[in-house]
Amino acid sequence: MLLASMAAAEDDNGVVLVFGDSLSAAYRMDTNDGWVALLQQRLRDEGMSLRVVNGSVSGETTAGGLARLPAMLDGHEPDIVILELGGNDGLRGLPVSSIRQNLERMIQLSQQAGAEVILAGIQIPPNYGPRYTGPFYAQYQELADDYGLVLIPFLLDGIAENPALMQDDGIHPTAEAQPMVVDIVWPILQSVLRAEGQP
């Protein structure tokens, strides 16, 4: 688990693994402009020596993530996993039951590896209809409740509704919106760090 003194000693680094899709992979922008890189900078600015690993891949589905996750857990031994997947499954109209099953297994694998999981909620466009979008979005809160996870209710809250902050596809936030994503993630991450003894 995270060490209370990690901020004071470089050799006590903890690892945050961001495991997601194009929303976290700096899609169509410089990697340094993406929210994950900006989160790393925020941690440094706060004097925290946590290392952020971006394990996100554009186009990733929950099935693809489940296949990749064990190697990422073994290779990086994260203390915290920010799990941000499901959007591409939803855009393909895949069954919510299968999406949930894959997310659940990734949560279990992360917890078995000793990591605290922060689950990032995702919404898909309303044109998919409430009979699909409702259960799709609800699964994130349900999984958080079932596994005692800290939940980011919606990663793009206040961003997705504003066309000026979204790329032309209407799905991905612009570079200008990336600091706003950090502002959404930051207090959630802080709450987990405090729970683990981080000042």
Give the residue numbers marked as catalytic.
22, 169, 172
Q: Is 166 exposed, middle or buried (0-12, 13-18, 19+ CB in 10 A)?
A: middle
Please state whether 39 falls in left (phi above 0), alpha (psi between -120 and 50) or beta: alpha
Q: Which residues contact 175 (CB under 8 A, 6 or more apart)?
A: 29, 30, 33
Q: How would you classify residue 27: left for phi > 0, otherwise alpha for psi between -120 and 50, otherwise beta? A: beta
Q: What angle do CA 43, 197, 118 make, to 5 degrees?
A: 60
